[in-house]
């Protein structure tokens, strides 16, 4: 059994309904992940990707390897080694395109960015962005590294169906304690240049969810 399927099984056992809610769990897990990632940008979501916009490509788009939450920068390195950054623009402001170096870019789809000009030569870009998770993946961060938080958020999202006030209160307690720990670990790692990881949730919480 893969990590995602194992998590679903444990989640079903936690809410004490076995497989009764199996048809709801995929959607509930997706909703929980979307909520967590829409409200916070975690370091595991951060990635820098190399992409080449080829000469004369029309439309001038780059397809990234992950769904995009937000792009922090698009840049290319000039011959003197200096990075040149592109501005984010509104697509409705691009009324026509030249065959020239791009001035800006905008989101073309969930996985694509599009430039305001057609490339006159090949441009090797670096794109730094926060990515969205593929929620049914066995490598989903929330399943492999923060399952208590995901489990708690799913329970919170399904509280109208579950109606177990003790379990719902426990889930809210987990979220209030563990989510700030993860955010603090991210902040320390990003700004203090020190390794920081989320502390495991407590034995008491683990036992209560069992």
Whether the per-residue pLDDT at 131 is higher than 70: the answer is yes
Share of the chain above pLDDT 70, in %: 84
What whole-number percentage of the chain has pLDDT above 90? 61
| Whether residue 26 has pLDDT greater than 80 | yes
Is residue 97 a contact partner of residue 66, using CB atoms and an 8 Å limit?
Answer: no
Domain residue extents for the chain: 3-43+134-209, 46-131
Residue 177, helix vs strand vs coil:
helix
Nearest-angstrom CA–CA distance, 204 and 141: 23
Question: pTM of the full predicted structure?
Answer: 0.79
Q: What are phi and psi of 65, to 5 degrees?
A: -85, -5
Contact 121, 55 (CB under 8 A): yes
Mean pLDDT of the chain: 85
C-alpha pair distances (Å), 88 with each of 41, 77, 98? 19, 18, 17
pLDDT at 196 over 50: no
């Amino acid at each position: 059994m893969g990590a995602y399927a194992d998590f679903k099984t444990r989640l079903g056992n936690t809410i004490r309904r076995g497989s009764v809610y199996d048809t709801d769990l995929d959607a509930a897990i997706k909703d929980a992940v979307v909520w967590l990632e829409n409200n916070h940008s975690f370091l595991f979501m951060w990635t820098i990707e190399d992409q080449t916009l080829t000469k004369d490509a029309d439309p001038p788009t780059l397809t990234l390897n992950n769904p995009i939450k937000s792009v922090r920068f698009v840049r290319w390195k000039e011959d003197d080694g200096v990075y040149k950054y592109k501005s984010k623009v509104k697509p409705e402001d691009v009324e026509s395109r030249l065959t020239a170096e791009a001035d800006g870019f905008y989101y073309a789809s969930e996985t694509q960015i599009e430039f305001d000009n057609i490339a006159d030569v090949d441009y090797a870009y670096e794109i730094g962005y926060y990515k969205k998770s593929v929620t049914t993946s066995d490598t989903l961060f929330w399943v492999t590294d923060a399952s208590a938080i995901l489990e708690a958020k799913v329970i919170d999202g399904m509280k109208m169906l579950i109606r177990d006030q003790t379990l719902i209160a426990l889930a809210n307690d987990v979220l209030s304690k563990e989510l700030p720990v993860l955010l603090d670990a991210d902040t320390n790692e990003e700004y203090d240049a020190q390794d920081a990881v989320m502390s495991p949730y407590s034995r008491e919480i683990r036992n209560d969810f069992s």
